[in-house]
Amino acid sequence: MTKLAELKRHLKPGQAYRRADLARWSTSVDRHVRELVESGTLKKLSGGLYAYPKETAFGPAPASDKDVVTAFLKGDTFLLASPNAYNSLGVGTTQLYDKTVVYNHKRHGEFQLGNRKFAFRVKPRFPKSLTKEFLLVDLVNNVDQLAEAKDEVLKRVAERAAESDQKRLRRAVREYGSERAKKFFERALRTGELHAA
Protein backbone atom coordinates (compact mmCIF):
# COMPACT_ATOMS: atom_id res chain seq x y z
CA MET A 1 0.00 0.00 0.00
CA THR A 2 1.36 3.43 -0.91
CA LYS A 3 1.93 6.02 1.81
CA LEU A 4 -0.82 8.15 0.25
CA ALA A 5 -3.30 5.24 0.32
CA GLU A 6 -2.31 4.61 3.93
CA LEU A 7 -3.11 8.23 4.84
CA LYS A 8 -6.40 8.04 2.94
CA ARG A 9 -7.39 4.95 4.96
CA HIS A 10 -7.43 7.06 8.15
CA LEU A 11 -9.80 9.68 6.72
CA LYS A 12 -13.46 9.52 7.72
CA PRO A 13 -16.13 11.00 5.39
CA GLY A 14 -17.71 14.18 6.72
CA GLN A 15 -14.78 14.98 9.04
CA ALA A 16 -12.54 18.05 9.17
CA TYR A 17 -8.79 17.82 9.81
CA ARG A 18 -5.93 20.12 10.69
CA ARG A 19 -2.60 19.65 8.91
CA ALA A 20 -1.18 18.46 12.26
CA ASP A 21 -3.83 15.69 12.44
CA LEU A 22 -2.84 14.45 8.99
CA ALA A 23 0.90 14.62 9.80
CA ARG A 24 0.42 11.71 12.23
CA TRP A 25 -0.24 9.39 9.29
CA SER A 26 2.18 10.77 6.71
CA THR A 27 5.93 11.30 6.40
CA SER A 28 5.40 13.80 3.52
CA VAL A 29 2.26 15.53 4.75
CA ASP A 30 2.47 18.64 2.54
CA ARG A 31 2.92 16.61 -0.66
CA HIS A 32 0.20 14.14 0.28
CA VAL A 33 -2.26 16.89 1.28
CA ARG A 34 -1.59 18.71 -2.00
CA GLU A 35 -2.26 15.49 -3.96
CA LEU A 36 -5.46 14.79 -1.99
CA VAL A 37 -6.71 18.35 -2.60
CA GLU A 38 -5.86 18.14 -6.33
CA SER A 39 -7.70 14.82 -6.66
CA GLY A 40 -10.74 16.28 -4.85
CA THR A 41 -10.46 13.85 -1.92
CA LEU A 42 -9.81 16.69 0.53
CA LYS A 43 -11.27 20.18 0.33
CA LYS A 44 -9.20 23.05 1.67
CA LEU A 45 -11.23 25.18 4.11
CA SER A 46 -8.50 27.63 5.17
CA GLY A 47 -4.76 27.60 5.87
CA GLY A 48 -4.00 24.24 7.47
CA LEU A 49 -7.67 23.14 7.68
CA TYR A 50 -9.21 20.51 5.39
CA ALA A 51 -12.42 18.52 5.09
CA TYR A 52 -13.09 15.06 3.66
CA PRO A 53 -16.56 15.42 2.06
CA LYS A 54 -19.09 12.65 2.58
CA GLU A 55 -20.58 11.16 -0.60
CA THR A 56 -24.37 11.32 -0.69
CA ALA A 57 -27.02 10.65 -3.34
CA PHE A 58 -26.90 14.40 -4.11
CA GLY A 59 -23.11 14.60 -4.39
CA PRO A 60 -20.42 15.38 -1.80
CA ALA A 61 -21.73 16.83 1.49
CA PRO A 62 -19.48 19.20 3.45
CA ALA A 63 -18.32 18.51 7.00
CA SER A 64 -20.71 19.81 9.66
CA ASP A 65 -20.09 23.22 11.22
CA LYS A 66 -19.47 21.43 14.52
CA ASP A 67 -16.70 19.24 13.01
CA VAL A 68 -15.09 22.16 11.18
CA VAL A 69 -15.05 24.35 14.30
CA THR A 70 -13.79 21.46 16.48
CA ALA A 71 -10.83 21.00 14.11
CA PHE A 72 -10.22 24.76 13.86
CA LEU A 73 -10.23 25.28 17.65
CA LYS A 74 -8.53 21.92 18.40
CA GLY A 75 -11.28 21.16 20.90
CA ASP A 76 -15.02 21.05 21.42
CA THR A 77 -15.52 23.70 24.12
CA PHE A 78 -17.68 26.13 22.15
CA LEU A 79 -21.28 27.02 21.40
CA LEU A 80 -22.57 27.47 17.84
CA ALA A 81 -25.20 30.17 17.64
CA SER A 82 -26.77 32.28 14.91
CA PRO A 83 -28.84 35.46 14.88
CA ASN A 84 -31.35 33.30 12.94
CA ALA A 85 -32.10 31.45 16.21
CA TYR A 86 -33.69 34.65 17.59
CA ASN A 87 -36.49 34.18 15.04
CA SER A 88 -37.80 31.24 17.13
CA LEU A 89 -38.43 33.54 20.13
CA GLY A 90 -41.43 35.30 18.58
CA VAL A 91 -40.06 38.80 19.20
CA GLY A 92 -40.40 40.14 15.66
CA THR A 93 -36.99 39.20 14.27
CA THR A 94 -37.35 37.72 10.80
CA GLN A 95 -34.07 38.54 9.03
CA LEU A 96 -31.86 35.67 7.88
CA TYR A 97 -28.11 35.97 8.43
CA ASP A 98 -25.44 33.96 6.64
CA LYS A 99 -23.08 33.96 9.60
CA THR A 100 -22.61 31.48 12.42
CA VAL A 101 -21.42 32.84 15.76
CA VAL A 102 -19.00 30.67 17.73
CA TYR A 103 -18.75 31.44 21.44
CA ASN A 104 -15.45 30.04 22.68
CA HIS A 105 -12.47 30.65 24.99
CA LYS A 106 -9.65 30.81 22.36
CA ARG A 107 -10.26 32.73 19.14
CA HIS A 108 -11.83 36.09 18.26
CA GLY A 109 -12.58 37.44 14.80
CA GLU A 110 -14.30 36.65 11.51
CA PHE A 111 -13.04 33.56 9.68
CA GLN A 112 -14.03 32.10 6.33
CA LEU A 113 -13.77 28.31 6.62
CA GLY A 114 -14.59 26.76 3.27
CA ASN A 115 -17.67 28.53 1.95
CA ARG A 116 -19.01 29.37 5.44
CA LYS A 117 -18.49 32.54 7.49
CA PHE A 118 -17.90 32.18 11.21
CA ALA A 119 -17.77 34.98 13.78
CA PHE A 120 -15.65 33.74 16.69
CA ARG A 121 -16.38 35.52 19.97
CA VAL A 122 -14.31 34.92 23.10
CA LYS A 123 -16.64 34.69 26.11
CA PRO A 124 -15.78 33.73 29.69
CA ARG A 125 -19.01 31.66 29.96
CA PHE A 126 -21.63 30.19 27.68
CA PRO A 127 -24.09 27.28 28.06
CA LYS A 128 -23.54 23.82 26.53
CA SER A 129 -26.56 24.29 24.28
CA LEU A 130 -28.91 27.06 23.16
CA THR A 131 -31.80 27.63 25.55
CA LYS A 132 -34.69 30.06 25.21
CA GLU A 133 -33.38 32.03 28.21
CA PHE A 134 -29.85 32.26 26.81
CA LEU A 135 -31.22 33.40 23.43
CA LEU A 136 -33.26 36.19 25.05
CA VAL A 137 -30.16 37.43 26.91
CA ASP A 138 -27.94 37.01 23.84
CA LEU A 139 -30.41 38.97 21.69
CA VAL A 140 -30.29 41.92 24.13
CA ASN A 141 -26.47 41.68 24.24
CA ASN A 142 -26.38 41.92 20.41
CA VAL A 143 -29.47 44.02 19.63
CA ASP A 144 -27.38 46.78 17.99
CA GLN A 145 -26.22 44.32 15.30
CA LEU A 146 -29.71 43.35 14.19
CA ALA A 147 -31.43 44.75 11.11
CA GLU A 148 -34.85 45.06 12.81
CA ALA A 149 -36.27 48.10 14.66
CA LYS A 150 -34.52 47.87 18.02
CA ASP A 151 -37.25 49.42 20.20
CA GLU A 152 -39.96 47.11 18.82
CA VAL A 153 -37.81 44.01 19.37
CA LEU A 154 -36.86 45.04 22.92
CA LYS A 155 -40.52 45.68 23.78
CA ARG A 156 -41.37 42.13 22.71
CA VAL A 157 -38.34 40.71 24.54
CA ALA A 158 -39.64 42.36 27.74
CA GLU A 159 -43.03 40.67 27.16
CA ARG A 160 -41.37 37.28 26.59
CA ALA A 161 -39.23 37.80 29.71
CA ALA A 162 -42.37 38.29 31.81
CA GLU A 163 -43.77 34.98 30.45
CA SER A 164 -40.52 33.04 30.92
CA ASP A 165 -39.36 30.78 33.72
CA GLN A 166 -38.16 33.62 36.00
CA LYS A 167 -35.58 31.55 37.86
CA ARG A 168 -33.91 30.24 34.71
CA LEU A 169 -34.03 33.64 33.03
CA ARG A 170 -32.48 35.39 36.04
CA ARG A 171 -29.68 32.80 36.08
CA ALA A 172 -29.04 33.30 32.33
CA VAL A 173 -28.98 37.10 32.80
CA ARG A 174 -26.55 36.78 35.72
CA GLU A 175 -24.21 34.38 33.88
CA TYR A 176 -24.32 35.66 30.29
CA GLY A 177 -25.73 39.19 30.26
CA SER A 178 -23.78 42.35 29.50
CA GLU A 179 -24.23 45.26 31.95
CA ARG A 180 -26.84 46.76 29.61
CA ALA A 181 -28.70 43.42 29.38
CA LYS A 182 -28.68 43.06 33.17
CA LYS A 183 -30.28 46.51 33.59
CA PHE A 184 -32.80 45.81 30.81
CA PHE A 185 -33.97 42.49 32.33
CA GLU A 186 -34.01 43.91 35.87
CA ARG A 187 -36.51 46.52 34.62
CA ALA A 188 -38.46 44.05 32.46
CA LEU A 189 -38.82 41.47 35.23
CA ARG A 190 -39.78 44.08 37.82
CA THR A 191 -42.47 45.46 35.48
CA GLY A 192 -43.66 41.90 34.76
CA GLU A 193 -44.01 41.24 38.50
CA LEU A 194 -46.03 44.43 38.97
CA HIS A 195 -48.41 43.43 36.18
CA ALA A 196 -48.77 39.94 37.64
CA ALA A 197 -49.51 41.29 41.15
Whether 115 is in a domain gets the answer yes
163 in the same domain as 143: yes
What global pTM score does this model have?
A: 0.84
173 in the same domain as 129: yes
Tens digits of per-residue pLDDT, 155-173? 999 999 988 899 999 999 9
47 in the same domain as 11: yes
Residue 31, domain CATH: 1.10.10
Tens digits of per-residue pLDDT, 107-138? 999 999 988 899 999 999 999 999 999 999 99
User: At which of 24, 40, 66 does a domain end?
Assistant: 66
User: At which of 40, 66, 92 does a domain end?
Assistant: 66
Question: Residue 170 contacts by C-beta under 8 Å, 6 or more apart in sequence?
Answer: 185, 189
Total domains, the chain: 2
